[in-house]
Structure 1
Amino acid sequence: MKRWLLLIIALIVLGTSVYLYLPYFVFESGSHLTAFILLLSSFVFIFTAVYLTANYQNRQKVKTLQNRLSMWTKLSYHVNQVGDEVFNELPIGIIALDEEFEIKWANPHAKTIFDTRIMGKDLKDVHPQLHFAAMNNKIQFIIQVKNESYDVTYRSEYKFFYLFNVTDRELVKQRYDEQIPALGIVYLDNLDEALASMDVSEQSSLKGEYLAAIADWANKYNGFLKPYADERLVVVLFRKQLNMMIQDKFDILDKVRLISTQNQVRVSVSMGVASWDVNYEELGIYAQNAIELAEKRGGDQVVVNIQDQKIAYFGAKNDASAKNSRVGVRINAQTIKDFIEKSSNIIVMGHNQADLDAFGAMIAVYHMAIASKKNAYLVVDEDKLDKTVQKIYDIVKSDLPAFVESCMDSESIIKIMSQDSLLIVVDTQSPKMVMSPEVLEKASKLVVIDHHRVGEESFNALFSFIEPYASSTIELMMELLNFYNMEEEIKISPLEATIMYGGLVVDTNNFSYRTGARTFEVAAKLKDLGADVTSVKLWLRRDLMRTLEINHLLGNVEIYLEKFAFVVTTDVYEDRILLAQVADAALQINGVDAAFMIARMDAN
Structure 2
Amino acid sequence: AILLADSNCLLVVVDTNRPEQVVSQDLLEAVHKVAVIDHHRRASSYIADAALNFHEPYASSASELVTELSQYLLEPADLLKIEAEALLAGMVLDTKQFTMRTGSRTFEAAAFLRRSGADTGDVKKLFQNDLEGTIARYDIIQTARIYKDGIAVARVDHTVGRITAAQAADELLNISGIDTSFVLFPDQEGRVILSARSMGDVNVQVVLEKLGGGGNAATAGAQVPGKTVDEVTKMLLQAIDQYLEDE
Query: Taking structure 2 as the reference length, what is the TM-score of the superposition?
Result: 0.70
> Does residue 457 in structure 1 map to residue 80 in structure 2?
no
> Does residue 498 in structure 1 map to residue 95 in structure 2?
no
**Deviation of 1:484 (Å):** 3.8
**Which residue number in structure 1 is paired with residue 69 of structure 2?**
480
**Which residue number in structure 1 is paired with residue 31 of structure 2?**
443
**Deviation of 1:512 (Å):** 0.9
**Deviation of 1:479 (Å):** 1.6
Aligned counterparts of 2:123 and 2:44: Cα–Cα separation in 1: 34
1:27-46 pair list within 5 angstroms: none
Report how many aligned residue pairs link the two structures: 189
**Which residue number in structure 1 is paired with residue 201 of structure 2?**
none
Q: Greater RCO between the two (CA within 8 Å, min separation 6)?
A: 2
**Deviation of 1:515 (Å):** 0.6
**Which residue number in structure 2 is paired with residue 514 of structure 1?**
101
Compared CA separation, residues 439 and 478, structure 1 to 2 (3 A): same
* 2:67 and 2:87 in contact (8 A); partners too: no
* 1:557 and 1:567 in contact (8 A); partners too: yes
**Deviation of 1:490 (Å):** 7.2
**Deviation of 1:431 (Å):** 2.1
- SS in structure 2 of the partner of residue 566 of structure 1: strand
Aligned counterparts of 1:456 and 1:414: Cα–Cα separation in 2: 27
Query: Taking structure 1 as the reference length, what is the TM-score of the superposition?
Result: 0.30
**Deviation of 1:536 (Å):** 0.8
Aligned counterparts of 2:81 and 2:114: Cα–Cα separation in 1: 9
* 1:556 and 1:567 in contact (8 A); partners too: yes
Compared CA separation, residues 591 and 539, structure 1 to 2 (3 A): same
Aligned counterparts of 2:71 and 2:126: Cα–Cα separation in 1: 27
AA partner of residue 535 (structure 1): D
Give me the CA root mean square deviation: 2.1
Give the gaps of 5 or more residues in structure 2: 191-224, 226-247
* 2:7 and 2:31 in contact (8 A); partners too: yes
CA-to-aligned-CA distance 1:278-336 (integer Å, 9 cap, x gap): xxxxxxxxxxxxxxxxxxxxxxxxxxxxxxxxxxxxxxxxxxxxxxxxxxxxxxxxxxx
Compared CA separation, residues 426 and 509, structure 1 to 2 (3 A): same
- SS in structure 2 of the partner of residue 415 of structure 1: coil
* 1:475 and 1:504 in contact (8 A); partners too: yes
1:594 paired residue among 170, 180, 186: 180
* 1:559 and 1:565 in contact (8 A); partners too: yes
* 2:76 and 2:115 in contact (8 A); partners too: no
Compared CA separation, residues 599 and 512, structure 1 to 2 (3 A): same
1:105-504 pair list within 5 angstroms: 413-462=1-50, 463-484=52-73, 491-504=78-91
2:166 paired residue among 564, 580, 591: 580
- SS in structure 1 of the partner of residue 110 of structure 2: helix
Compared CA separation, residues 414 and 588, structure 1 to 2 (3 A): same
* 1:572 and 1:599 in contact (8 A); partners too: yes
AA partner of residue 102 (structure 2): T
**Which residue number in structure 2 is paired with residue 535 of structure 1?**
122
More helix by share: 1
Aligned counterparts of 1:547 and 1:597: Cα–Cα separation in 2: 16
1:553 paired residue among 133, 140, 146: 140
CA-to-aligned-CA distance 1:157-198 (integer Å, 9 cap, x gap): xxxxxxxxxxxxxxxxxxxxxxxxxxxxxxxxxxxxxxxxxx
* 2:40 and 2:57 in contact (8 A); partners too: yes
* 1:430 and 1:459 in contact (8 A); partners too: yes
Compared CA separation, residues 489 and 508, structure 1 to 2 (3 A): closer
- SS in structure 1 of the partner of residue 96 of structure 2: coil
**Deviation of 1:599 (Å):** 2.7
Aligned counterparts of 1:521 and 1:480: Cα–Cα separation in 2: 12
Aligned counterparts of 1:440 and 1:566: Cα–Cα separation in 2: 36
- SS in structure 2 of the partner of residue 414 of structure 1: coil
Larger Rg: 1
- SS in structure 1 of the partner of residue 11 of structure 2: strand
Aligned counterparts of 1:426 and 1:461: Cα–Cα separation in 2: 16
* 1:447 and 1:461 in contact (8 A); partners too: no
AA partner of residue 534 (structure 1): G
**Deviation of 1:449 (Å):** 0.5
Aligned counterparts of 2:186 and 2:60: Cα–Cα separation in 1: 27
**Deviation of 1:559 (Å):** 0.9
CA-to-aligned-CA distance 1:221-250 (integer Å, 9 cap, x gap): xxxxxxxxxxxxxxxxxxxxxxxxxxxxxx
Aligned counterparts of 1:457 and 1:600: Cα–Cα separation in 2: 26
* 2:76 and 2:112 in contact (8 A); partners too: no
AA partner of residue 512 (structure 1): T
* 1:498 and 1:536 in contact (8 A); partners too: yes
Where does structure 1 differ by over 4 angstroms across 4 or more consecutive aligned residues?
A: none
**Deviation of 1:435 (Å):** 2.2
Aligned counterparts of 1:497 and 1:509: Cα–Cα separation in 2: 18
* 1:587 and 1:593 in contact (8 A); partners too: yes
Compared CA separation, residues 545 and 427, structure 1 to 2 (3 A): same
* 1:586 and 1:595 in contact (8 A); partners too: yes
**Deviation of 1:416 (Å):** 0.8
Aligned counterparts of 2:166 and 2:10: Cα–Cα separation in 1: 32
